[in-house]
Amino acid sequence: MSPDHAVGSGRPSAGRLVLVAGLLVAVVAMGWWGYLGLRTYASEAMAREQIAIFDEMHGQALGSDASKAADCLQYVVSYYPSGTKQESGSALDLGIEAERRKAIAAIIDHLRTITSQDLGPDAEPWIQAYASPTPSASAP
């Protein structure tokens, strides 16, 4: 008689059922961990991309006149606001928003320098005063 079947029953033994159930649980768990890993990788890639855009806009603003710098500022402010690419309030979202604030502050500092004006730390007055009437939808 095969050890895979209970004596006289023709059914698989409890040991074999436990083994199959254990394998099934392991396969599902590995799939779930793989999904979570892929999701984390994608979120981190999107975060790196967002931060790179902020850095690019900051760099462009530093070499620009007030109008172009304000266009860059507007782009940083409006580029995928919190909660659109990342879960709002997540560690990645908080990190991205901290980098956005740094870029905004740096561009505003540049605008203060080149305009000899101080419209405050908020981006909106600077955008209203200096941005092009209709900035392009793509990065300036």
Mark out the alpha helices in the chain (DSSP H runs). 14-62, 66-78, 91-115, 123-130
Instruction: Quickly state the pLDDT bin for 137 (edges 50, 70, 90).
Output: very low
Specify the number of domains making up the chain. Answer: 1
pLDDT reported for residue 38:
82
Q: Is the pLDDT of residue 134 over 80?
A: no
- Which domain does 116 fall in, by range? 47-130
95 occurs within a structural domain:
yes
84 occurs within a structural domain:
yes
Per DSSP, what are the bridge partners of residue 5? 12
77 occurs within a structural domain:
yes
pLDDT reported for residue 113:
96
- Residues whose CB falls within 8 Å of the CB of residue 33, separated by 6 or more in sequence, listed in order: none
Distance (Å, whole) CA 3 – CA 44: 50
68 occurs within a structural domain:
yes
Q: How does pLDDT run across 33-80, given as a tens digit for each residue?
A: 887 788 778 889 999 999 999 999 999 999 999 999 999 999 999 999
9 occurs within a structural domain:
no
